[in-house]
Structure 1
Amino acid sequence: MFVRSTALWLTPLALLASLCSSFALAQGPMVEVVQVQRQLVRDELITFGSLASDESVMIRPEIAGRLARLHFREGQRVEEGALLVSLDDSISRAELAQAQANLNLAEKNFQRAQMLFKRGASNAQALDEASAQQQAARATLALSQARLDKTQIVAPYAGVLGLRQVSPGDYLSEGQDIVNLEVLDPLKVDFRIPQKAVSQIRLGQAIEISLDAYPGERFVGEIFAINPRLDEAGRSQAIRAHIDNADGRLNPGQFVRVSVILAERANALVIPEEAVMPVGEQLLVNLVVDGQVELREVRLGKRFDGQVEVREGLNGDESVISAGWQKVRAGMPVRTKAVERQP
């Protein structure tokens, strides 16, 4: 009985494919590899807080009176000492003139009493009474001058004015709201941290904030005050930091996400999380060395955005198998396909 060889039944194209497949198996399976990267890795404490003005005051009159004139526009930036409000000062000026006249009379009476006392025509009691009247007249003059000065309300410091609550011609009572004044550069960031993290916070520590108004952007600040007393209800500690706001993009009252920078490693080794192979209590990675697979035990650090920091086990110049390591073993030859990682 005549039997044909199987190879005689293969077409030239099928034979070529078979030979290529055999060659690929000889070279090992295909795997994807990435280079170990060096980048900045931070240990951060994430919490939430709110922005507040560095200084905030409501401008109010210390005396009652009719509002004669407003010297500002709403939302205006003003300098320290700038005149903001004038109250009607006609009564105060009249009181000042009266006090000045009373002082002039008291001084003349005192001079006359001194002269009579020196001549022996008056006693010491009359001289003391004249001196007391003179001092009382001076105090009354100072009081009248102070009341007149308080009809002119000035800015206690440089800042930005808010919306006014009054109009010219209004009669203002003592302590009535007129307009708020805010210092917007820098801004304060008020936030809280849990009790377990208290030991990690210190004065001068860097923070970064982010907010929905500026997605993907971070603003850098620094802690300048720590409340020594923890909140008994939530067992948290109040922290306050400063954020530069020279461009005026941030506003008091905004809700922010706060990242407290606990530690930074500028040249940390980073690989994809999917490259890590857990085996029992060990964490292994598959390297490609001279075309063959090599297993390496590693110790990991922070995980973030699909990446993981390698604290121990790598030098930084290795090629790590990121996909396909499930079908390889140590010492096996492999074919590699380099994969570019997104920054």
Structure 2
Amino acid sequence: MPARARRYLVAIALLLIGAVGQAQEGRGPLVEVVRPERTLVRDELITFGTLRSDESVMIRPEIEGRLARLHFVEGQAAAAGDLLVSLDDAIARAELALARANLDLAEKSFQRAQLLFQRGASNAQARDEAQSRQQAARASLALAQARLDKTQIRAPYDGRLGLRRVSPGDYLEAGQDIVNLEVLDPLKLDFRVPQKAAGQIHPGQAVEIRLDAFAGELFRGTISALNPQLDVAGRSQAIRARLGNPQLRLRPGQFVRVTVILAERPHALVIPEEAVMPLGERLLVNLVVDGKVEQREIKLGRRLRGRVEVREGLSGDETLISAGWQKVRPGMAVRTRAAGEGA
């Protein structure tokens, strides 16, 4: 074959190979793509805490005496003002009767002294002494009445009674434990946070609790108070929250897992974690714009299960390459299919 003819055939072959290469390049590699999603993202702090009664008091007598009668049943609900315990009041009633008799005599003596003074048959000193005895008798009556009142012990507020520690007939000393009274709705939640997180906590923040006794259930409350002084030993801050307990399912003393909601972003932008391409200290994503690859730098926020929050770099209407970005480069034409679809 003449050399001129061979050169002609080689040129045609090269043109054909280039055309095929251009056609293949025009089709490009197949990649999977996704769209960013808008969803709720929360910054959370997880710790542990203990449930406590909203109010808790041990019922005790203020005076000594024999326990005459118990007016409650262990474990029952009690209303504010309900009579719980009666002490023997025989001596107190006798003292009250004596105080009334002394007051009656003192008042009559004062009336006579006042009348004599007005007639000039007595001096002012006698009248003043009679008046003083009258006032002392009134004070003695008030004291006797107070002692009698203290023989009856009443509930200071609505709550639920615990287990009694005494029996009728016992002689009680002043301050001796009788029964505990607990307010179970609402409950207090006490927990601690490390000092580095103390500045992020403030009253009104929401908390969520979980406990083994109710697996899978979530209970919500609100932070009510912060201890302004940090614990010197552990460098932590004591926090108190309150949560409703209308069905009385939760009990004081239970150990719970606490999640503090530091911040909520209801329309945060999230993308699949596998769509992020680390390049040194930079984080990039590969976009498909008009059928070609374009790279963009992003900044991430909170990491979720299999997804990450994008704080900067995306507006939300982009198409991202989630699988196959390792075989593409900026400017390359690609073919796309939605993530999860078959080939």
Regarding TM over 0.5, the answer is yes
Q: Distance in 2 between matches of 1:93 and 1:279?
A: 90
Aligned to 2:56: 56
1:110-121 to 2 correspondences below 5 Å: 110-121=110-121
Distance of aligned partners of 1:120 and 1:234 in 2 relative to their CA distance in 1, 3 Å threshold: same
Alpha carbons of structure 1 residues 153 and 283: separation in structure 2 relative to 1, 3 Å: same
- Structure 1 equivalent of residue 83 of structure 2: 83
Shift of 1:183: 1.4
Distance 1:187 1:295 in 2: 53
- 1:1-343 mapped onto 2 (5 Å cutoff): 30-289=30-289, 292-330=292-330, 331-339=332-340
Whole-Å separation in 1 of the counterparts to 2:216 and 2:306: 18
Q: 1:123 Cα deviation (Å)?
A: 3.1
Report the equivalent of 1:5: none
1:20 corresponds to? none
Instruction: Write out per-residue CA displacement over residues 17-40 of structure 1, whole angstroms, 9 at most, x where no aligned residue.
Output: xxxxxx999955554444322111
Give CA deviations for 1:145-203 in whole Å, capped at 9, x if unaligned: 11111111111111111111112222211111111111122211222222222322223
Aligned residues of 1:287 and 1:296 also touching (Cα < 8 A): yes
Q: What's the secondary structure of 2:284's corresponding residue?
A: strand
User: Is the contact made by 2:60 and 2:174 (CA closer than 8 Å) also made in structure 1?
Assistant: yes
Shift of 1:338: 2.7
**What is the CA deviation profile of residues 2-23 of structure 1, one whole-angstrom value per residue up to 9, with x for unaligned ones?**
xxxxxxxxxxxxxxxxxxxxx9
Residues in 2 aligned to 1:307 and 1:165: alpha-carbon distance in whole angstroms: 57
Inter-partner Cα distance in structure 1 for 2:217 and 2:290: 43
* Paired residues of 1:28 and 1:335 also in contact (CA < 8 A): no
- Tell which deviates more after alignment, 58-67 or 237-246: 237-246
Indicate how the Cα distance of structure 1 residues 324 and 213 shifts in structure 2: closer, same or farther if over 3 A, else same: farther
Spell out, residue by residue over 1:190-217, the C-alpha distance to the aligned partner (whole angstroms, 9 max, x if none): 2222222232222322222222223343
Q: 1:323 to 1:75 in 2, by over 3 A?
A: farther
Query: Per the alignment, do residues 25 and 169 of structure 1 end up closer, same or farther by CA in structure 2, a change over 3 Å counting?
Result: farther
- Alpha-carbon shift at residue 319 of structure 1 (Å): 4.0
Please give the secondary structure, in 2, of the residue aligned with 1:105.
helix
Cα deviation, residue 243, structure 1: 1.4
Describe the shift of the 1:119–1:230 C-alpha distance in structure 2 as closer, same or farther (beyond 3 A): same
Cα distance in 1 for partners of 2:210, 2:165 equals: 33
Q: Give the 3 Å change call, closer, same or farther, for CA 336–66 of structure 1 in structure 2.
A: same
SS at the partner of 2:245?
coil
Q: Structure 2 CA distance, aligned partners of 1:31 and 1:90?
A: 95
Structure 2 residue ranges without an equivalent (≥5): 1-22
Distance in 1, Cα, partners of 2:99 & 2:86 = 22
Q: What do the CA deviations read for 1:222-257 (whole angstroms, capped 9, x no partner)?
A: 222222222222222222222122222222122222
Distance in structure 2 (CA, Å) of the matches to 1:164 and 1:307: 55
- Secondary structure in 2 matching 1:230: coil
TM-score, length-scaled by structure 1: 0.84
How far did residue 129 of structure 1 move? 2.3
Hey, what does 2:11 align to over in structure 1? none
Kept in 1, the 8 Å contact 2:70–2:85? The answer is: yes
Moved more, 215-224 or 181-190: 215-224
Instruction: Tell me how far apart the structure 2 counterparts of residues 53 and 251 of structure 1 sit (CA, whole Å).
Output: 8
Letter in structure 2 aligned against 1:316: G
Count residues with an aligned counterpart.
Answer: 318
Q: TM-score, normalised by structure 2?
A: 0.84
RMSD (Å) for aligned C-alpha atoms:
2.5
Amino acid at match of 1:65: G
Residue 83 of structure 2 contacts residue 152 of structure 2 at CA under 8 Å; is this kept in 1?
Answer: yes
* Whole-angstrom distance in 1 between the partners of 2:282 and 2:262: 28
After superposing the two structures, state which structure 1 stretch, 155-164 or 205-214, moved more: 205-214
Amino acid in the other structure paired with 1:87: L
Task: Provide the residue aligned with 2:6 in structure 1.
Answer: none
Q: Which runs of 5+ in 1 are unaligned?
A: 1-22
